Amino acid sequence: MRSTLRMLVAVTSILTVLSPAIAGSASSARSGPADLATVEQYLYRTPISSFVAAAPSGDRWFDWSNDGCSAPLVGNTGRSFNFTAACKRHDFGYRNLKLLERRYGSGRTYWNATSRLRVDRQFLSDMRRHCTDRPWYDEPTCNSWALTFYGVVRIAGGP
């Protein structure tokens, strides 16, 4: 795990150094499909711990801001669950798919009901994965909260 994390930090550092040069050399180097592939890599194919480690130094073309599950204490009870990492990735998905829609979209290509459902399902998966790491006596409560959070984002998350 440490060697993987070191490799991720090294690659991220190199990409961070190179990204201004790449972006400055040709503005046409950015494209909707390429940016979508990057967002989907972070959302669906990057382990949550690697996502959280990459966020502070991530490509500034994307929106890495988050609101901590809409309120800092809502995402974490400290004992039965801590969904902070899952909330950060969920915010990344919503914000960046909407950003891609504004930059490249024509008719809800990037942000639509299907993409929203996919981000929300990843959110539930991240929360459930977190729950499996809790003590056995906290796991049922944690899973109940995960389903509650998922239900709320399905009702209130829009479009």
Domain span at residue 121? Answer: 2-156
pLDDT bin (cut points 50, 70, 90) of residue 77 is low
> What's the confidence (pLDDT) of residue 108?
67
* Model confidence at 64: pLDDT above 90: yes
Query: Which percentage of the chain shows pLDDT scores above 70?
Result: 74
pLDDT digits (tens, 9 = 90+) for 98-155: 999 999 977 668 999 999 999 999 999 999 999 999 999 999 999 999 999 999 999 9
Q: Which residue has the higher pLDDT, 71 or 155?
A: 155
Burial 118-153 (b: 16+ CB within 10 A, else e): bbbebbbebbbebbeebeeeebeebbebbeebbeeb
pTM assigned to the model: 0.76
> What's the confidence (pLDDT) of residue 110?
93
Mean pLDDT of the chain: 80
Q: What is the CATH number of the domain that holds 41?
A: 1.20.90.10
* Model confidence at 74: pLDDT above 70: no
Count the residues in the chain.
Answer: 159
Q: Which residue has the higher pLDDT, 94 or 20?
A: 94
Phi, psi dihedral angles at 76 (to 5 degrees): -160, 120
Q: Are 119 and 43 a contacting pair, CB within 8 Å? A: yes
Phi, psi dihedral angles at 82 (to 5 degrees): -145, 95
Q: Which residue has the higher pLDDT, 12 or 59?
A: 59
Cα of first residue to Cα of last residue in the chain, in angstroms, is 38
How large is the average pLDDT for residues 35-53? Answer: 95
> What's the confidence (pLDDT) of residue 144?
93
Give CA–CA dist 97/44, Å, rounded: 13
DSSP 8-state symbol, 76 = B
Number of Cβ within 10 Å of residue 156's Cβ equals: 8
Closest CA to 30 of 8, 60, 10: 60
Give CA–CA dist 116/113, Å, rounded: 5
How many domains are there within the chain? 1
